[in-house]
Structure 1
């Protein structure tokens, strides 16, 4: 048999420091758990053990501590973020059928030593997985140490120990007795390092032999004096360094055989921790689910639940039964439709007779519908000239609203999270058979968190709006894009030649390694610390070097142009469909703040801060016989801030239509508004928006090119002049710490577990997120509300106009000339009146044949 012995503390420690801090929405850290399981699963695939034992230390003192009070006395306590994960990994391992071993008075190393000896003595193979070299002394013909590293696991056999150290595995004890171990506070012989210790043991074999006659060995006068003075320390250190092979633990290897996991409990536990990807990797499927009854968790056996008929063909007769007042649930992915109605599950797949016709008949049917990813159904209906009727609930949208941290939403995960029995016994129809009870529970959760109105009035109708936008898309000027690409290519070639001339030769400009060598070795520019992979040449580093050598500015420009070429020329051309339009996919459950995102292409990321990036707008044009209307909120986040914090100065500025940035500059620099220079206004603008994002003096100084002291003074002046902003931010952070989340004025929650972290960097991130979330989240809510209202109004007034794009705080409509003025009025009116705040919303509307011209 093969036994895999894992040093639990060592691997958890390595995982904790190897992966950035991860938390779930409740603030529970999971990075060490994630890293441990990643390492474990990799080892299982490589070793294929029959038995696994994971050894852990206990807090109680061991026989070494009792013998020597200084043993490990210099060790810092375990970080709270790691300590809270130790009981979690033990519980998880138990649920997965993996044995954990602890023994009072002994360390994990002693357990590994005992189990490895017992396995070897009984003719079995043992593999020790650890991050420490202490276990090298345990290596033998039947015991292999697998040393976990950041990139690879190193395999240590007796031959490798001899090759690297020139001693046998057991002699590693003798070496440590002489050289000591600062991490364990084992003194060794003062002044004897690893190189000398290895040399001495290679000669003497053991510490005892060495001290039996120091004259027999080749030892310098200085080292001899050190050895003589440190004799007692060497003996004590030998005792502390030697791993015990007889700890009182179960020694029968067979006792550590892997057993079947408790899949239901493991799924519930991982769902609670929000470690859903790990759950998928562990293939925890087909088990009983957990449910909640009157507040108490009880196991519900699937065999006790009512059985449904599944796999029935969806046809006209089945759809005819789905009349008004009756409930159904469906899942549609474009190629297959599954419908649950009463106690039956129906399906139809692409290629079946009249697939499109049957799907559309169901979508048009009057029954009430619950869905998962309902936007796909809306899109299919629009693409086929009809509409989806009766959709009242989308479980994925509810899951997102309840916890935007999750990042991934599936029917099974939501069932586990919200204690709904997942009908895995229904096989391929498990998801659709679980939707109706899941929807009921999610609706209850939305009520309890006071987000049901936000769900019903904003997220659900927005689902249809986004599908409509995807359906219509926006026309692309492909010839213009190609010409722009040719122009970019010429500029890139010219830049490349200039860079080569300044570098004194050709190299791969896109290679950070080669660029680093040119900048920091060949040209001698000041470099930051060199890592194993080479010099850092990221944008931040290059910006700091921009005034040191002309090549740096050229490299930055080269990167800008090559990204435009690859992403927004080549990439955009690939997304143009046969109708000549780009049909971007708008995502409603992607961001933590509530903002809409898009892909294929990502319209939100078009680089418009530079003129060359803004030119990309020229290639999004109106359809034949139409024009584009572009409406943009003016400084929406600052207006939200003014409204929610109640600062009279800020409110007055917006009410009077004064330039907020000029006014801020006047306050920050202490000068009259008519004396504010353009660079002062720019600095004030950076302060205005920086405050929303919790910017610090260091970051602000880099953004506007002033000293940290000046930036600190700017922020102080700002907060002195707008005291209620500071009060609001402080109160928001306090509420976030107390509740674990912050909310927008519309009730949208963002959970911020980082606020409860002891790690100062994480805490600082949590505070910035808490300050920003109510502002950015409210801005996201407002644009969503406006989209819904504009969409509905255009339909009500039967205008030949359609909403086709949303980019940040901007809405774009394609409209015929006849309805242009009416549509423009609707757009401005609905956006400015989407919500009533203490300050007015201001919207400017432009028009043109392209997005560029409409933007003005």
Structure 2
């Protein structure tokens, strides 16, 4: 499918202006926005290929049809900064000189041109990508025919992403906007109706007309606000509705991507503006810029439905010593049951075995007992899969002992490119240019896979196994060439280790949580009344809009900053106002308690009640972070607060005894190891207090030294340090200078790491696992971020590798070990006796030999909160 990219010119340039540093040429001309824009043009040709491009502009006439409807439309727009005004005409000239088509129409805004172009193009079978940050664009999204494209995050925003972000579908977006309004365009909406309430109303009633037709079903304050704001709601919908009929047809040839590299057409002008690096990069890459992503040429194969038991086992016997890709189909993601399985070991054929499909007239299937025996037989082969942890964990329910797999393509994809999506559909598109059948295309609403007919199911499921085998063949070449990481001894056995941890779970004291619930509920009630008294009004404390009104309109506190939806009332703003009014301290306390209540206490209690043993089971993600650290979700048990005042961790209890084994200052020890700084190495060899030693050397307190020690590993600059420890920028700069003067080897190592990352395009952890960075395509802001992440990966990534290997070594030492949790540098076990824990401590301290010793702290307790 051909692609048209439509760029909201002013909106995009404005975004670049505020996103990038204020660069200037030697002649003093501001160039930050232009640099960001030209980087986008380079990436448009290389990373985001397109057949057609058009830039849309707002009408030069100030009186648009929306102004006629509502004279205050966009009346609150501030004057553009001078540096922005200087760069805009330069950017417009560059667009013209590069040969791109620009469109404007008297009386209409850029958004209307975009809507009309997108409508005509999509009706003619052209895929449309809209480059804009304007919320109005969400009403145009049409499945994957019209999408919003974010060039920074490199993602397409489709219907699914729209719903994730706003809670409504694109077809309902105009009516949703009509309720919430838009402060940036001065669109009133309905006062007091926030995003969540609007989404709930829209999902139930879909249109304003239907909402007001059923107004008597709506109760309380919401009904009152809707009735009071009726006129504004319908006015707002008129204002946000985009014109889609400005063109009867379009001549796409006018928008054709330039055949000659557009950047070279303006090279002299860019060099004059001192934006030479972009020109150099384009010249180095050559004149050719691919203008189109290759059409998805789906790889052809035969999907075979195996519903005969004899044929099934005969087919498995043919696998022999070949690699076999394996995948299961289930009836749900949480607590799944098997519906069928697929496998592939041949060049052009894959198989699907139906087991538990359930619909009227379902055809012959393989009995479950026979199917499970067949799976056990397959698992004795060189089995690979994509996210085998899910499949293996589900199979454990059926008494199947899962082996160490031969490979997992999800992990291979993550190792190769840890910053990109690792789902099978994404990886297949990226490496094979193959579009998988989408799950949502075959499974309808309120259905699961067991309701799908066998022929359709076979095509979908067999494709997963077939593509997994193709991906393995593709990815193994990249892995062996680029990533020197011990997959066989660490990543593959780690899959089963994580399943053991997840299945073990951790017991919860429900009665303890219920007492906390009562205690915090009472505190929140008291705080609510105190806040009302201090405000002189009752209002929704959780509504940023209403809170902003109380703080900055009623109480007249100094407003720090405004967002598109009103005054900012985030934690940073509230902390800056601590001494301005007694209400602030109460609000901060309210937010802290409310978060504990709604994020932890209630959800944890409800989860624990659902399990007969009152246990909670988390899900560990092996591919959840770019540095290699494990992450946890559903629920995230790595994020349970450590507060002792409201001690949520004490709700987690051991049936016997907990032990915590925690690597002490592992990242600082790695800093000493890598930099070989004499002072740091000496301090760790002598078992000194490293923070106190640093404090003594640079002449400050231990707490400040600690912030500096850890902060520099993560690329903390003077601004962040000043905010963290509440000192001036001048003092922060002085402390950092003193630190690097005292530890010059550390500074040299950090600078060398950044330089090597830029030169090679990657960094390596202690165990030679690589992380890649696209410095060539980065703007100034991204380069700085890449450098910080490169340094961070060396330390955090190496620490992640070390603890991963320690977990494997402990599991090998004692296969029956009850490993409960991993929280980055800490492991928590449930043990029989303290002697057992001391063996694990020894293993952790000897997992790798550094030029400074690894140290592990140890503590015991019956409750998690008792562990030090």
Distance 1:480 1:511, change over 3 A: same
What pairs with 1:830-841 in structure 2 (closer than 5 Å)?
830-841=843-854
1:602 and 1:357 map into 2 onto residues whose CA distance is 37
Q: Tell me what 1:849 maps to.
A: 862
Give the SS at the match of 1:845: strand
Match of 1:330 in 2: 326
Match status 1:345 vs 2:351: yes
Shift of 1:841: 1.0
Corresponding residue of 1:448: 481
Find the counterpart in structure 1 of residue 693 from structure 2.
Answer: 663
Q: Please state if 1:495 is matched with 2:523.
A: no
Question: What are the residue-to-residue correspondences of 1:524-535 with 2, within 5 Å?
Answer: 524-535=556-567
Matching residue within 777, 782, 793 for 1:762 = 782
**Distance of aligned partners of 1:655 and 1:535 in 2 relative to their CA distance in 1, 3 Å threshold:** same
- Structure with bigger gyration radius: 1
Change (3 A) 1:535 1:14: closer
Equivalence map 1:97-496=2 (5 Å)? 130-134=56-60, 260=125, 275=154, 277=156, 307-313=301-307, 315=309, 318-319=312-313, 321-322=315-316, 325-334=321-330, 335=338, 336-342=340-346, 343-351=349-357, 354-355=367-368, 358-359=371-372, 361-363=374-376, 365-389=379-403, 391-406=405-420, 408-419=421-432, 427-428=459-460, 429-451=462-484, 453-496=485-528
Structure 2 CA distance for aligned equivalents of residues 788 and 558 of structure 1: 43
Cα drift, residue 401 of structure 1: 0.8
**Which of the numbers 808, 820, 823 marks the counterpart of 2:824?**
808
The separation in 1 between residues aligned to 2:737 and 2:47, in whole angstroms, is 49
Partner in structure 2 of residue 828 of structure 1: 841
Give the corresponding residue for 2:613.
Answer: 579
Q: Deviations over 1:9-54 (max 9, x none)?
A: x62552454489999xxxxxxxxxxxxxxxxxxxxxxxxxxxxxxx
Q: Structure 1: how far apart are the matches of 2:638 and 2:483? A: 30
Q: Of residues 597, 601, 605 in structure 1, which corresponds to 2:631?
A: 597
Partner of 2:663: 633
Tell me the equivalent position of 2:708: 687
> Which runs of 5 or more residues in structure 2 are unaligned?
21-28, 73-84, 91-103, 107-118, 129-144, 162-289, 331-337, 358-364, 438-455
User: Scaled by the length of structure 1, what TM-score is found?
Assistant: 0.66
Q: 1:611 to 1:548 in 2, by over 3 A?
A: farther
Superposition deviation, residue 371 in structure 1? 0.3
Q: Which residue of 2 aligns with 1:675?
A: none
Identify if the C-alpha distance between structure 1 residues 135 and 420 changes in structure 2 by more than 3 Å, giving closer, same or farther. same
Matches of 1:763 and 1:94, distance apart in 2:
23
Contact (CA 8 Å) 2:297, 2:433: kept in 1 or not?
no
Distance 1:435-1:19 versus aligned 2 partners, 3 A rule: farther
Aligned to 2:24: none
SS in 2 for 1:418: helix
Contact 2:660/2:859 (8 A) holds in 1: yes
Question: Following TM superposition, by how much is the alpha carbon of 1:396 offset from its aligned partner in structure 2, in angstroms?
Answer: 0.5
Matched, 1:698 2:729: no
* Separation in 2, partners of 1:271, 1:520: 34
The RMSD of aligned alpha carbons is 4.2
| 2:527 partner SS | helix
- Measure, in 2, the Cα distance between the counterparts of 1:805 and 1:17: 46
Aligned length: 633
Displacement after TM superposition at 1:183 (Å): 8.7
Q: State how 1:740-819 maps to structure 2 within 5 Å.
A: 740-753=761-774, 757-759=778-780, 761-795=781-815, 799=816, 801-815=817-831, 817=832
* Shift in CA distance, 789/378, structure 1 to aligned 2, threshold 3 Å: farther
Counterpart CA distance in 2 for 1:355 and 1:444 is: 37
User: Conserved in 2, the CA contact under 8 Å of 1:794 and 1:823?
Assistant: no
Quote the Cα distance in structure 2 between the aligned partners of 1:710 and 1:77.
Answer: 29
Q: Please list the CA deviations of residues 796-855 of structure 1 after superposition, one character each: whole Å capped at 9, or x if unmatched.
A: xxx5x311211121111123x3xx2443133212211222211111112222222222x1
Q: Which residue of 2 aligns with 1:127?
A: none
**3-state SS in 2 of match to 1:611:** coil
Per-residue deviation at 1:447? 0.9
Change in CA separation of 1:541 and 1:78 when aligned onto 2, cut-off 3 Å: closer
Q: 2:548 aligns with which of 516, 527, 542?
A: 516
Give the TM-score of the pair, scaled to structure 2: 0.65
* Residue 310 to residue 822, structure 1, CA distance change in 2 (3 Å): farther
Q: What's the counterpart of residue 725 of structure 1?
A: 746
CA pair 309-601 structure 1, distance change in 2 beyond 3 A: closer
CA distance in 1, matches of 2:390, 2:571: 38
Q: Report the CA distance shift for 1:460/1:482 in structure 2 as closer, same or farther (over 3 A).
A: same
The 3-state SS of whatever aligns with 1:622 is strand
Shift of 1:131: 3.7
Task: Please give the alpha-carbon distance, in whole angstroms, between the structure 2 residues aligned to 1:20 and 1:526.
Answer: 26
1:14 aligned residue (11, 36, 40): 11
1:750 aligned counterpart, secondary structure: strand
Q: Secondary structure at the match of 2:537?
A: coil
Residues 520 and 302 of structure 1: CA distance in aligned 2, closer, same or farther (over 3 Å): closer
- Equivalence for 1:643: 673
Contact (CA 8 Å) 1:340, 1:346: kept in 2 or not?
A: no
Give yes or no for contact 2:33–2:87 (8 Å, CA) kept in 1: no
Distance in 2 (CA, whole Å) between partners of 1:420 and 1:6 is 19
Note if contact 2:681-2:852 (Cα within 8 Å) is conserved in structure 1. Answer: yes
Deviations 1:653-703 (A, max 9, x none): 111111111111111217xxxxxxxxx211111111111111122221221
User: Does the 8 A contact of 1:360 with 1:381 survive in 2?
Assistant: no
Q: How many Å separate the matches in 2 of 1:184 and 1:736? A: 34
Q: CA deviation at 1:510?
A: 1.5
Task: Output the CA distance in 1 between the equivalents of 2:89 and 2:857.
Answer: 69
Distance 1:733 1:746 in 2: 19
Hey, what does 1:33 align to over in structure 2? none
Q: Is the 8 A contact 1:314 1:346 kept in 2?
A: no
Q: Secondary structure at the residue paired with 2:814?
A: helix
User: Which shifted more, 83-92 or 501-510?
Assistant: 83-92
1:93 Cα shift? Answer: 9.9
